[in-house]
Structures are given as structure tokens and as C-alpha cells.
Chain A
Amino acid sequence: MNRVLIARLIDLVIVLFGVSVIVFLMIRMIPGDAVAIMLGANTEITPERMAELNRRVGLDRPIVEQYLLWAGNALRGDFGTSLWTGRPVSSEILLHLWPTLELTFLALLIGAVLAVPVGCLMAQTRGGAADVAMRVTAIAGLTIPSFWLGIVLILLLSSWAPGFASLGYVPFSEDPIGNLQRMMLPAFALALPILANLSRLVRSAMLDALGQDYVRTARAKGLAERKVVYKHALRNALIPFLTSVGIMTGYLLGGAIVVEQVFAIPGLGRLILGAIAERNYPLIQATILVVTAGFVFVNFLVDFLYIVVDPRVRA
């Protein structure tokens, strides 16, 4: 088990190194320079002033030197400062991290919590038309565009419950009720595909479990049916569930980018889009690296839990 883990850990380091190189190269290839963009169209400026501004933000140095400087500092946990505001990049990321984390966590929670009863309910009806209907509904839930759903939800809510503050963001620590009130719609919009996905997992695990020998045995031994099914089936569903959490984290991060835009939530997605728009190199680099590292780490954790849960992998 330790050997497997160590091998995965080495993979993790190599992947992160590769990611940092790709992020760096990609950002250098984005056309348009930061100073010109900051100035905007129709701003008058002399070439000398442009050169001065470039020097101010350190963009006049050779690219390799810029990279080495950045990579060296990044290893020490210093991501530099945001190009124009001079705020430390790390604090910018931290500031934007919480709303996104909360959003993805809530979406995952809603999806997972609702998936159990929905999946069980789905398992009760088996065969024929009900089966097909269930499946079609689940796939529809999976393929509904979350940003579209978000906009429709905002519109519906505003006509049903005008005066209900549903936009923007307040930190949970400042105003728990206001926070949850605002996060409800975006989290639900994000959670629907997860619910669709997980409930199908639960359902098939339930059906499998009902057909297993040990469940029949358990039943024969006189255990309450409900308890038997839940215990075994949910345990069975755990492994595919864990596998999909890794994949779903990727989906959630992508979905969050668009949903944050719709609901005006100051999260990482907004930070990245804004940073790219203004060519804020230090900020783009660090944000993409941190988000990707987080994603890689979640997948690593999933692998780890997988090993713990499923003894067969240990061999």
C-alpha cells in the first residue's frame, strides 16, 4: 500500500511540474501586452511613457529571467504581487478561494445528500417504462446547461419572490443566513448534474446489492430488509462514488466559472477571467497553478481513499 502511495506521490510532483511549465508557456503566448491593455483604446500616450510603464511592472526583462524569478519565489510560497494593484497574489487568491470552495462544496453536498433518497426511490421502480423514464430524466439533468438554468432560476425567483436577496456574496462568517440565501440558487444550478449522476450510481448499486448472495443471506437471517439493503448497497456505491468525485470536482470548477459570472459571486472563476482580460501575468499564473494543483490533489485523495476502501487495490 505504501509503495502504491509513494508512486502516486511522485506522479503528483511530476504532473505539477508539467502543469507549471504549460501554464507559463501558455501565458507567454497570449497576444497583447499588459501595459497596452491597461491603457485601453483611445488613450493617448507617447512611446517613452509606454516604456516607462513597462519598466514599472518589470515586463521589460527577458522572459527566461522573469520565469526563473517567478518559479523561484513560487517554490517559497511567494507568488508575487498583482500587476497594477500591488496586492500580494496569494492574498488575492485566498480572498477568491472561499466563495468558490463554498459553492463547489455546497453543490457536492446537495448532490450527494439528495442522491441517496432519489437513487433509492429510483431503485424501487424497476423495469419497463418507469425505468426508461428514470433514465431519460437523469440524462436530462446531466445535460442541462448550468448557466442557462442559473439565469432561468434568477428570473423565476424574481417574479415569484421579489425582494428575496439572491445575488452577490456575503461571507458566511459575517452573515450566515444571507450567505446561504445567496448561495442556494447557484449551488442548486451546479448540483443538478451531480444529483443526476450520483442518483444513478446509487440506484444501480442498490439493484446490484438486492441481487447479491449476501443480501439474500442477510435477509434469510432475518435482518430488517431496509437496513440490509442500505448498509450493503451504500457501501457498494461508495467506490464508484469516490471515483466520480474526482471527475466531478473538475466539472464543478468549470461550472463554477460560469455560474459565478451569472450570480455575481467573487470566486476564482471571476478572478481568472479578469486576470486574463487584463493580462495580469503573475495573477493568471498563480491562480491556474493553484486551482489545477487543488484539482490534482483532490484526485490524489480520491485514489488514496480508494485504496483504503477497496482492499483489492492494495495488492
Chain B
Amino acid sequence: MVRSALRTALGAGFMAAMMASASAQVLEIGVDNGPTGLDPHLITAFPSFMVVNGNIYEGLTAIDKDLKTVPGLAESWTVSPDGKTYTFKLRQGVKFHDGSAMEAEDVVATVKRLLSKDIASPLASRLSAVDSANAVDATTVELKLKEPSAALLSSLATIAIVPSAMETNKDALQKAPVGTGPYKFQEWQPNGFILLTKNEAYWDKGMPKLAGLKFNIVPESATRQVGLSNGQYALLPNIDAATALQLKGKPNVKLSETMDLAYTLIGMNTSKPPFDNPKVREAVNYAINRQEIVDAALFGAGVPGGPLSPALKSWALNVNQFACYKPDPAKAQALLKEAGVATPVAVSMKVLPRQDIKDIAQVVQEQLNKAGFKVELVNQEQGQFIQDWRNSNFDMFASINAGQPDPDDYFYRTFRTGGSTNVFKYSDAEIDGLLDQARTLADQAARKTAYDKVQQKLACSGPIAHLTYGTLFSAMNSKLQGFDTMPNRSLLMLRNASY
């Protein structure tokens, strides 16, 4: 392992880094998918984010292990009393990988780049509340908002700061990223690997401890598992329970786990029968046995979940508070009768092509069929699934979504009438009112009250039957220290890792 890593490292041509710290090593990481691009403002796929965010790039803020918003490139910030002006004090002595200093004008350029029509960043909506950005001095930035935004600070953690020279450049960063993070880009062989090396000039002295990161793209799960147990790879980040179970107890392998922010769900189209009827949606919730799903598809590693992840301790309601979470096929049948629909209710369910989702879909199919439904599974290729999802072309679908650290981020765009990811065409005046109100509230307790009501209503008759929150695992060589799995699947902790 050491020898082959050395050989690869030498071959890749960064002898200098190896010699500078003879003990430090390049960490061999096995991942299932490679990035599709490296421009932090143009990527949307998770495999790209995983490589780029936190390793190559940093935002003004950061999300820590407990999903709290902490300082990132901004050392501190103040918010005006009306909640419409944010003033950020930037960290001093931060340098981009090209050697130039990171200053206020870079932050301003980043915001402009993100909002520019020409760049057409898909992340633009995260800054939709921002009206303007300006540099007060070299280390002070002021963001003016159109309206108060409770989720702004956590959103900023995902907005990578790029050099101001890149403001109008559409291509350069896709191939060769320039950030401020602990690792800098070295080489990318599509479908092979992506190699990052230590940023010697990183602002946080003593970090990172590794000589570099090599993300090996290995599509086969069995192959990754063998690679970890024979020492060829030292880390398989963010794996599911089935994979973790197989690696448990293997020599030289240890696991780290956390509650996943991502949730599995059944989505229902509320714009056409039968799911336009809230009673039918309620029947679905009664028919589903969430604990059984956890046991069957997640190998017991997970919990039944409501609209918010239990990882969001300060927001999520306990699922015991939702009546429909007690599985009751008879009650489901009764609800269908009340709704006046002909049973069995024949519907098709589109399935996201992932093994865990395919398994969940099969379990849910069995459960629904026992409670007056007749579900046909439609397994689609990823592209087709996404297309149908975006065009609301489904009765129901089974999928998994990445969760957000702030409830507004998720709720507003998903359940608000006309929300940008409200593909269910869900529209409810009470929910709309609560969501509009909650996003402008500054008081945590008042927000919590509003979101409690939202959760209560959405849980049983909303357009989404939230199923489970899994336990998220990472498997690693037992020599790897200082790395932990994070609920949002970020690999931020790789800066602390040593091997």
C-alpha cells in the first residue's frame, strides 16, 4: 500500500510535497462516482461537492459536525436590527492557491458571479435574498438584503469564495479550481481519480496533516470493499448500512457513524387523482410501516423520520407526535373508503435508480398493496427520473433527498405554493401563511412554533410521505485518525485527518 501510493504520488509529479513531510501520506479514498466538473458555482452533483467544498474551497461561514453555523473565511459578522444588512469581517492572511491574497473584493466578485445571468449558476437561488454586496475595506464586506433571511448564514457555507479575476470566466474553474482550502487541485483523470495536494500556505497553521487526497473513482461497491480491506484504499466516505455491515469487524477497518441529514421519501402528485385527495395521502402514511423499512432496507441502521431530520435537534418534532406514523392498514383502507376512491387504487411509483431506494420501493410496494393500493414500480434511468420529477410527471415516486441545516431552506421551496422544487404542485393556504411568516422571524422560539405547526400538518397529509433517516457510515483504515462522518456528508474533517 505504502509503496504503491508512493509510486503513484511520484508519478503524479509532486515529489516536493512528499519530501517536505516524509511521514505524511496521500490518503487513498474510494468513491463511487467522479465529479462532473469542478467549478464550485456550476456543479450540482454530490460527487463534485464532496471533492470541492471544504477541501479546495471555503465559504464565509462553515457548517460544523453538529450542523451549527460557525466562522469560515469570515472571522465574525454582525446583523443590522432590521435583519437586512450583514457585515462580515474577513480572516486575515488568507491566500488563494495561486498565491494572491483573499480580500473583500473577491467576496463581492463571488456574489456577483453567482448572481450573473451569463454564468447561470444553479446555486443562485441560495442568494436570492441578496440585493447587493460591497467591499467596505479590504477585510470588510457588507451584504444588503431585499428582505430578512433566516437561512442566509447557513446558505453562505455552501458558496465558495473564488478569486475576483474569475468573476466572468466560465470555463477555467471547471478544469482547474483555485480556492483557499487546505488542499489544492493537482490532477484529474476522469473516471480514474482526482488528486489534491496539501496547501502549504493554508491559513489555519498546522493544517492539513495529510500530504494530499486521492479520490479513486470505483463504481462497484464490492470492489471498493475489497480495496478497503486489502489496504489499497484507506477511506470509503458516506457509505450505507449494507456496505458498512459487510466491512464491520474486518481486520484493520473501523467505522464511524452519524445520523444522516438526507431522508428517503415517497412523493405524491397532488395535482391529479388519486393523490389530490388528502385522505388518500393520509392512507398512504397509515399503510407504510416505517420501522419495517428501516429493518429491511437499512439493515436496522436508521430511524423512522418526519418532515425534519432528527439530526436537527432544535427543530424536529418526535415522530410519536404524528398519529399516522402508527402503521394501521385497516385505518388506511377506511380512509380510502371515506375518500370515495375505487379500491384497489392503482398507481405507479417511479424509482430513483439506487440500490437502497430500489429496496425501499419494493418494501413500500408490499405494504401499500396490503392496504388497498395496487402499486406498479417503474424503475427508470437517472436522467429520465429527473426529467419526470422536474415535469411533475408521476403519480408517486421513491427517492432520497439531501437535507438542509435550516428548515426554511427545505420547506419553503418544497411546500410553498409555486415553490421552485414543489413538483408535487402542493398548495395549502395555511402552510403558505406559516412559511411566509417564519422566514422573516428573527426569534428562534417563534420560528420553532411556526415550524412545529408546519411539521404537524405535513406529516400525515402533505405531498411527501417522509420515510426514514438512515445512519450514515464511513469505513476507514484503523490507522486513519481525526476523521468523522458528518450528517451533511461533507468531507470538511479531512483537514484534521492524519494517517
Q: Which residues of chain A have a CB within 8 Å of any CB of chain B?
A: 30-33, 36-46, 49, 52-53, 55-56, 84-87, 92, 95-96, 151, 154-155, 158, 162-171, 174-175, 178, 261-264, 266-267, 270-271, 274, 277-279
For the complex, what is the distance from the CA of A55 to the CA of B170, rounded to whole Å? 13
Which of chain B's residues have a CB closer than 8 A to the CB of A168?
192-193, 216, 218, 227, 232
| B230 contacts A37, C-beta separation under 8 Å | no
Whether A32 and B37, one on each chain, are in contact in the complex, defined by CB atoms closer than 8 angstroms, is: no
CB distance from A177 to the nearest CB of B (A): 9
Q: Please, how many residues of chain B have a CB less than 8 angstroms from a CB on the other chain? A: 56
B387 touches A43 (CB 8 A): no
Q: Whole-angstrom distance between the alpha carbons of A261 and B223 in the complex?
A: 9
* Contact of A154 with B223 in the complex, beta carbons under 8 Å: yes
Residues of B within 8 A of A270 (CB): 191, 219
How far, in angstroms, from A162 to B493 measured CA to CA in the complex?
A: 29
- Any A CB within 8 A of the CB of B205: no
CA distance A45 to B120 in the complex (A): 10
Q: Which residue of chain B has its CB nearest to the CB of A277?
A: B382
Q: Is B433 an interface residue (CB 8 A)?
A: no
- For window 213-240 of B, CB contacts with A under 8 Å fall at 216-220, 222-223, 226-227, 229-232
Question: Is there an interface contact between B120 and A49, defined as CB atoms closer than 8 Å?
Answer: yes
CB–CB A154/B222 < 8 A: yes
- Report whether B230 and A162 are in contact in the complex, using a CB–CB cutoff of 8 Å: yes
Taking A155-B226, A271-B191 as contacts, is the C-beta distance between A264 and B220 under 8 angstroms? Answer: yes
Write 8 A-B pairs (CB below 8 A) sorted by A numbering.
A37-B383, A38-B36, A49-B124, A56-B170, A162-B229, A162-B230, A165-B4, A267-B191
CB-defined contacts of A37 to chain B, threshold 8 Å? 382-383, 386-387
- Residue-wise, chain B 374-400 has the 8 Å CB interface mask toward A (1 for contact) of 000000011111110110000000010
Say if the beta carbon of B81 comes within 8 Å of chain A. Answer: no
Q: Are A164 and B122 in contact (CB under 8 A)?
A: no
Q: At the interface, yes or no: B421 with Cβ under 8 Å from chain A?
A: yes
Q: Enumerate chain A residues within 8 angstroms of B231, measured Cβ to Cβ.
A: 162-163
A31-B384, A266-B217 known; A41-B191 Cβ under 8 A = no
Closest B residue by C-beta to A274: B191
Are A86's CB and B223's CB within 8 A?
A: no
Contact between B191 and A96, CB atoms less than 8 A apart: yes
Instruction: Return the chain B residue nearest A99 by Cβ.
Output: B192
Could you tell me the distance between the alpha carbons of A25 and B348 in the complex, rounded to whole angstroms? 30
Given A32-B381, A45-B420, A154-B223, 10 extra CB contacts under 8 A: A42-B401, A43-B122, A52-B117, A55-B120, A56-B120, A154-B222, A174-B8, A266-B191, A274-B34, A277-B381
Q: Is the CB of A165 within 8 A of B1?
A: yes
Kindly report which residue of chain A lies nearest to residue B385, judged by CB atoms: A41
A86 touches B219 (CB 8 A): no
B280 shortest CB reach to chain A, Å = 23
> Is B216 a contact partner of A264 (Cβ separation < 8 A)?
yes
B340 part of interface (Cβ distance < 8 Å): no
Please tell me which one of the listed residues B34, B219, B389, B420 contacts residue A261 in the complex, with CB atoms under 8 A apart.
B219
Which residues of B have CB within 8 Å of A95? 189-190
Chain B, 392-438, CB within 8 A of any chain A CB: 399, 401-402, 413, 419-421
Known: A165-B1, A264-B218. A39 touches B44 (CB 8 A): yes
Contacts of A263 in B (CB 8 A): 223
Query: Among the listed B42, B170, B190, which residue makes an inter-chain contact with A92, where contact means beta carbons less than 8 Å apart?
Result: B190
- Which of chain A's residues have a CB closer than 8 A to the CB of B223? 151, 154, 167, 262-264
- Cα A285 to Cα B227 in complex, Å, equals 33
Please measure, in the bound complex, the distance between the C-alpha atom of A151 and the C-alpha atom of B225, giving whole angstroms. 12
Q: Which residues of B contact A49 (CB under 8 A)?
A: 120, 122, 124-125
Give 10 nearest A-B pairs by CB, closest first: A32-B383, A266-B192, A44-B420, A174-B11, A52-B120, A266-B191, A264-B218, A32-B387, A270-B191, A37-B383
A148 to chain B, nearest CB (A): 11
Pick from B175, B191, B222 the residue with the most CB of A within 10 Å. B191
Asked whether any CB of chain A lies closer than 8 Å to the CB of B45, the reply is: yes
